[in-house]
Structure 1
Amino acid sequence: MTTWIAETFTSDAGWNHLRSLVDIGDRMAGHPGEREAMELTRDALSAVGARDARIDEFEIQGWSRGDSVVRAGETDQECIALPRSPAADASGELVDLGYGLPEDFEADLSGKVVMVSSTVPDHYERFIHRREKYYHAVEAGAAAFVFRNHVEGCLPPTGSVGTEASPIGDVPAVGVSKEVGARLARRFEGEEVTVSVDCEASPAESGNVHAELGPDTDEEVLVTSHLDAHDIAEGALDNGAGTAMVVEVARALAAREDELDTRVRFVCFGAEEVGLVGSAHEADRMGDDRQRIKAILNNDGVVDGRTLSFYTHGFDALDDAVEAVSDRFDHPMSTVPEQMPHSDHWPFVQHGVPGYMAASESEGRGRGWGHTFADTIDKLEPRTLREQAILLTELTVELAAEETEVPHRPPEDIAAALEAEDHAEGMKITGDWPY
């Protein structure tokens, strides 16, 4: 019974795969490094015993970064382009909107260069995504968008703009560090500045990696992650760790395959960082077959802290399964029974498919080191990956058990929950509202 636990706690499969992924360097969607990550992940899943490991390719809007700058007074301030920003120069009066809450955009912003923070105040009821702030600025007539990190350390943040209908954004967008943002606000607010973005957009190709274990049942449990990352860093936390976790869980489940009552399919998605493109491709490919999915366990943000945390999207049975595993192992795990429409579970959950977003508890708000140059493997520990792999393996077996029932929900219930939790306005302005 416990042999698999000992093997998982001494396994190097997941950690070695994480090392291989971060050593690629640039895993940006559509870049050669993303393709290398697909092939390494396909081979790793096959090596740990998963069957039919393969890559499903699809076309995407590719984007490559050039040099960017914010010209203010006689100075050039360091910045990086936000992926899928258009290549353009835009000038206007600099307006610092602070946190960039929805009500902050009610000012006259026509022709202005708008700067906002990457976080929200502690008292605010929900997190406001970067793309929501960007499209509020676009709707208000801003000429350019400056995204200021709230984390110290001279770390300009990245993160995509654009929508499914219009993958390239409307106005040039850059990220600046907390320190550069403070300098811009102190010295140049109210003065004309120029945001200059050099980049290239062209057709490209991404792909999803698939493999499976367990019996050949119509119903299936999906264990997922995304394997792409932003080109400015190793992408260790976001989301090399999630893909390494999928490999480690597959290794552990291969040794427990006779315990699985339901097929388990592993999917490591491409092109997540540019709009959940890989998972949307898979959800569209499946169509009505999405109803065969018993549950999704999506790993995005695991290994950051030692305690696992799960968004459960109002599916009570998912909360119950986490509680059962937590009690069985006398190990803390937390659940958040709210909607989280920002990772690869979402193209399925929005249709009423039960899904987790598995992450980990950490201090502070926002992404921390994520989406910056500092997202490197030295921030993570093999111990944490192994501990969490044990719990996530058991959770997958729990979900796959014949006696575990996880009812789907009508999509209109998901829509109502989004409205009640104040996500709807932001999703509508970013073009992500599917109802």
Structure 2
Amino acid sequence: MKSIIATAAALILAGHAFAQDSFELDPAQAATAEALVAEALESDLAWSIVESLTTEVGPRMPGSEAEVRARAWGEALGQSLSFDRVTIEPFTMPFWDRGELEISITSPYTQALHGSALGGSGASPRSGPVESDVVYFRDINALTAVADGSLEGKIVFVDGDAMVATQTGAGYGPANNRRRIGWQHAERAGADAIVVRSVGSDFHRNPHTGMISSMDGEWANIPVIAISNPDADHLRRLHHTGAPLAMQIRATAGWHGDVTSGNVVLDIVGSELPDEIVLIGGHLDSWDLGTGAIDDGAGIAITVAAAELIARLPERPRRTIRVVMFGAEEVGLLGARAYAQQHAEEVGNHVLATESDFGAGRIWQLVSNVDAAANPAIDAVGQIIAPLGILRGGSNVPGGGPDIIPLAMAGVPTVRLNQDGMDYFDLHHTPDDTLDKIDPEALAQNVAAYAALVYLAANMDVEFRTPAEEAAAEE
């Protein structure tokens, strides 16, 4: 009995402490946020934006002519809406093109495979085919153990398991190791090429592309190819038969010098604190197999539409709201790094940042990484968007989104509206990343959550930075 009473007392005290630390929204601001939610749920603006981007521009390979057209599209979109300032901020980047690929089994019989050169892949010699025996590795760990020079004249196949679909995409990082670093060990061991199982959770005969990791600034000199999960399963079964396995690959991928990319920056200038910035956005580029609807046309549409609804209000928010359409995300967060460098002197003015870059599934959770004293304010935002089916999650969760990483590393506080990613890695970096995969109602729910969050963050009298971060930003 005493333990029950003690527990009850502790809960009462905890509730009292929470009440003391709670944050009460300004009633007018709360009402406006709720009105934005209602308007967003009825709006088709985000759908119109992502439909326009994927239809009129199409795939947007980083550094390509298509990405140039995408920036022009983004600039024109910003100028056609209610933003106060539209800017293109250029940066230089190396351009990689996947070229052509032919890949097939040649022993124990001939069969074409469905593959994709991975970003940073090299070409086969003189653009001719490589035909070699295949050495099978069950996973990336097995490959990392091989001796230097032990795979001369061979083609490496790194198997693994298809990702398990989860709400959070938790399996992506571990599975991605074979894509990122497999080539480094294959090339070290003298292989002529490396083929890996696609990093994805689907069982369609679609390859998943993506970027490899450089090693000391150097890229692969050999073809680095991802094949579809069904083709990887087929190679595994052939390996288990014990029959000799050989493959032929012709790849023309490679680097083509430096080009200009850029970020498109759309600002709603704050009425009282114009130098303080709440930053949101997505990435404008995409891989070229699909039309980049899920990754990340949806994120562009969600954040632009949310900001536009706020811009249409009778009064500007207190702080500036900035939407960044980041360039060249897919090849190493190049636009994000350029933005952080170009805005280094004002990074201390960025009061909060977040990105939409996980598809178009419904948002189910709000997490944050802000000063502890600001958590009650984020909790209050959570109460406004709770009717959308969004739970308040962790209050010390690093992140904000891939393109936010350089800002977060510089001390900018972050929040993240986590989306349901159960089907995200079915579509990620594949030909299936197309507009029909987006649910308009889920897209509108995303816009509603972003509109409320960003409006309140831009108006609340709250310091989101920790005191130490604030002091460092002022130095």
TM-score w.r.t. structure 2 length?
Answer: 0.76
Q: Percent identity?
A: 24
Residue 147 of structure 1: aligned partner = 196
**CA gap 1:85/1:137 in 2 versus in 1, 3 angstroms:** closer
CA pair 122-272 structure 1, distance change in 2 beyond 3 A? closer
> What SS does the aligned partner of 2:253 have?
strand
Q: Secondary structure in 2 aligned to 1:130?
A: helix
**How far apart, CA to CA, are the structure 2 residues paired with 1:43 and 1:346?**
28
- Structure 1 residues 316 and 238: alpha-carbon distance in aligned structure 2, compared to 1, 3 A threshold: farther
CA change 1:294–1:92 in 2 (3 A) is farther
| Change in 2 beyond 3 A, CA 1:285/1:68 | same
1:299 aligns with 2:356: yes
Find the counterpart in structure 1 of residue 181 from structure 2: 135
Q: What do residues 220-243 of structure 1 show as CA deviations (whole Å, max 9, x unaligned)? A: 111111011100101111000000
Instruction: Determine if contact 2:359/2:421 at 8 Å carries over to the other structure.
Output: no
Aligned: 1:113 with 2:156: yes
Within the candidate set 313, 319, 341, 1:284 is matched to 341
Aligned partners of 2:373 and 2:76: how far apart in 1?
34
Distance 2:467 2:202 in 1: 38
In angstroms, what is the RMSD of aligned CA positions?
A: 3.1
1:195-344 maps to which residues of 2 (within 5 A)?
195-202=249-256, 203-213=258-268, 214-215=270-271, 217-256=274-313, 258=315, 260-304=317-361, 306-310=362-366, 312=368, 320=376, 322-331=378-387, 332-334=389-391, 335=393, 337-340=396-399, 343-344=402-403
- Which of these residues, 430, 433, 443, is aligned with residue 385 of structure 1? 443
CA contact (8 A) 1:294 1:353 kept: yes
Q: 1:311 to 1:171 in 2, by over 3 A?
A: farther
Residue 134 of structure 2 corresponds to residue 93 of structure 1? yes
Give the drift of 1:218: 2.5
> Closer, same or farther in 2 for the Cα pair 1:239/1:118, shift >3 Å?
farther
**Is it true that 1:26 corresponds to 2:54 in the alignment?**
no
CA offset at residue 31 of structure 1?
1.5
Say whether the 8 Å CA contact 2:374–2:463 is kept in structure 1.
no
Rounded to whole Å, the distance in 2 between the matches of 1:18 and 1:410 is 40
Change (3 A) 1:339 1:155: farther
1-structure distance, mates of 2:42, 2:386: 20
Q: Is 183-192 or 380-389 further displaced after alignment? A: 183-192
Unaligned runs of 5+ in 1: 412-435
Q: 1:346 pairs with 381, 405, 408, which one?
A: 405
Range with bigger deviation, 119-128 or 188-197? 119-128
Equivalent residue for 2:432?
374
Give the structure 2 partner of residue 429 of structure 1. none
- Where structure 2 has 5 or more consecutive residues not aligned to the other structure, the ranges are 1-31, 470-475
CA contact (8 A) 2:60 2:286 kept: yes
Matched, 1:46 2:79: yes
1:9-45: CA deviations, max 9, x gaps?
3323221110011112221111222122212222222
Counterparts of 1:48-63 in structure 2, within 5 Å, are 48-63=81-96
The match for 2:14 is none
**Residues 299-320 of structure 1: CA distance to partner in whole angstroms, max 9, x if unpaired?**
102422x234456457657865
2:275 match: secondary structure = coil
Normalised TM-score (structure 1): 0.83
What's the counterpart of residue 11 of structure 2? none
Distance between the aligned counterparts of 1:409 and 1:58, measured in 2?
A: 33
User: What is the distance in 2 between the residues matched to 1:105 and 1:314?
Assistant: 41
Counterpart of 1:238, as a letter, is: D
- Structure 2 letter corresponding to 1:326: G
C-alpha displacement of 1:118: 7.0
Q: Which residue of 1 aligns with 2:115?
A: 79
Cα deviation digits, residues 254-292 of structure 1 (max 9, x gap): 023736221111111010001000010011112242122
Match of 1:421 in 2: none
Distance 1:350 1:297 in 2: 13
> Aligned AA for 1:212?
D
Structure 2 SS opposite 1:367: helix
1:179 to 230, 234, 249: 230
Report the counterpart of residue 10 of structure 1 in structure 2: 42
Greater shift in the superposed pair: 124-133 or 183-192: 124-133
Q: Residue 404 of structure 1: SS of its match in structure 2? A: coil
**SS of residue matched to 1:299:** coil
Cα separation, 1, equivalents of 2:82 and 2:279: 17
Cα distance change, pair 398–229 in 1 and its aligned pair in 2 (3 A): same
Moved more, 202-211 or 266-275: 202-211
Q: How far is the alpha carbon of 1:167 from its aligned partner?
A: 6.6
Q: 2: distance between equivalents of 1:9 and 1:342?
A: 24
Looking at CA atoms only, which structure, 1 or 2, has the larger radius of gyration? 2
Partner of 1:424: none
Q: State how far apart, in whole Å, the 2-side matches of 1:259 and 1:410 are.
A: 30
- Once the 2 structures are TM-superposed, how far is the Cα of residue 374 of structure 1 from its aligned partner? 0.6
Q: How many residues are treated as equivalent by the alignment?
A: 406
| Counterpart amino acid of residue 197 in structure 1 | A
Letter in 1 for 2:95: G
Return closer, same or farther for 1:293/1:165 CA change in 2, 3 Å cut-off.
farther
Secondary structure of the residue aligned to 1:222 is: strand
- Residues 290 and 127 (structure 1 numbering): CA distance in 2 closer, same or farther, change over 3 Å? same
Q: SS of the residue aligned with 1:265?
A: strand
